[in-house]
């Protein structure tokens, strides 16, 4: 019962805040700066759930200019980890279906979140190309979950290559972020949701300067293996 109550509160909080705040945020229009509002709304939830987030390596993100962040994806709780470390002028790439979730979708659009249609490859490639140009022009950082879907079990799923094509096209560095397993305090399978501690580790930057599309497969596997090794160590 406690599990269902906590999950319901999480969803209700997101929907309520999106409904209440979106009209005010809309006055400024669609802007990456609106991510600060989303972050401020979600940050307090860790205190309500009694989840302590320990961040390691945050200094790696203290760098000028655009870059791509790639992060493992376990559950909806990743949202708490995202707002804990997301830097200024950074937006996630999300599945297009999210845009049609009423006021939540509207709020996501207003924050500048980039939507991608995973089922239409040509459209996805076009979004990646447009985003690469925008990153350079507007000093934008982008966060991607390269597994493409939630994966509560280890090891990490094979990575989709979109994030790595994006970084190579824009010639910007990649920062891998690894969130430790939730299983000690959260499991949708076992309907467990208690207090606990989660570690978020920001790994050193991976350069893409001088790389070309033919280097993307090797780059993808190299970054994935680095993250898998860190995840195993944190487990």
pLDDT tens-place string over residues 161-194:
999 999 999 999 999 999 999 999 999 989 999 9
Task: Give the pLDDT of residue 235.
Answer: 85
How many CB atoms within 10 Å of residue 97? Answer: 12
Note the pLDDT of residue 163: 95
Residue among 28, 83, 69, 56 nearest 176 (CA): 69
Cα atoms in the Cβ-side hemisphere of radius 13 Å centred on 33: 7
- The domains located in the chain, with CATH, are 1-234 (3.40.1130.10)
* Backbone φ and ψ of 158, nearest 5°: -55, 140
Q: What is the pLDDT of residue 123?
A: 85
Comparing CA positions, the residue from 103, 82, 81, 75 lying closest to residue 16 is 103
pTM beyond 0.75, yes or no: yes
- The pLDDT value recorded for residue 110 is 95
Q: Which pLDDT score, from 0 to 100, does residue 122 have?
A: 85
Using alpha carbons, list the distances in angstroms from residue 104 to 4, 6, 19, 113.
Answer: 21, 19, 7, 12
pLDDT at 184: 92
Tell me, what's the pLDDT at 2?
A: 87
pLDDT number for residue 124: 86
Which residues of the chain have a pLDDT value below 70? Answer: none
Listed residue (89, 202, 227) closest to 146, CA to CA:
227
- CA 119, CA 116: separation in Å to the nearest integer? 9
User: pLDDT tens digit string along 206-221?
Assistant: 999 999 999 999 999 9
pLDDT at 20: 93
H-only helix segments in 78-208: 78-85, 102-110, 121-138, 162-170
Torsion angle, alpha carbons of 105, 16, 37, 57, to 10: -90
Cβ-contact 152, 77 below 8 angstroms: no
Q: What is the predicted pLDDT for the residue at 9?
A: 95
Element of type H or E holding 226: helix 216-234
CA distance 125 to 187: 34
Give the chain's mean pLDDT.
93
């Amino acid at each position: 019962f406690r599990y269902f109550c906590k999950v319901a509160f999480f969803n209700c909080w997101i929907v309520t805040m999106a409904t209440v705040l979106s009209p005010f945020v809309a006055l400024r229009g669609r802007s990456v700066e609106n991510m600060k509002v989303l972050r401020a709304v979600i940050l307090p939830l860790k205190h309500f759930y009694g989840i302590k987030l320990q961040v390691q390596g945050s200094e790696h993100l203290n760098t000028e200019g655009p870059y791509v962040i790639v992060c493992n994806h376990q559950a909806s709780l990743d949202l708490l980890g995202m707002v804990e470390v997301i830097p200024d002028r950074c937006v996630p790439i999300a599945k297009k279906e999210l845009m049609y979730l009423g006021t939540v979708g509207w709020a996501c659009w207003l924050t500048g979140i980039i939507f991608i249609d995973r089922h239409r490859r040509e459209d996805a490639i076009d979004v990646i190309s447009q985003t690469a140009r925008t990153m350079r022009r507007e000093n934008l950082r982008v966060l991607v979950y390269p597994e493409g879907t939630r994966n509560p079990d280890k090891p990490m799923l094979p990575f989709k290559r979109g994030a790595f094509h994006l970084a190579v096209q824009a010639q910007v560095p990649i920062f891998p972020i690894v969130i430790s397993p939730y299983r000690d305090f959260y499991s949708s399978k076992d309907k467990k949701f208690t207090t606990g501690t989660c570690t978020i580790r920001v790994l050193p930057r991976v350069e893409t300067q001088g790389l070309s599309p033919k280097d993307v497969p090797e780059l993808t596997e190299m970054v994935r293996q680095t993250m898998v090794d860190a995840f195993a160590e944190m487990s």
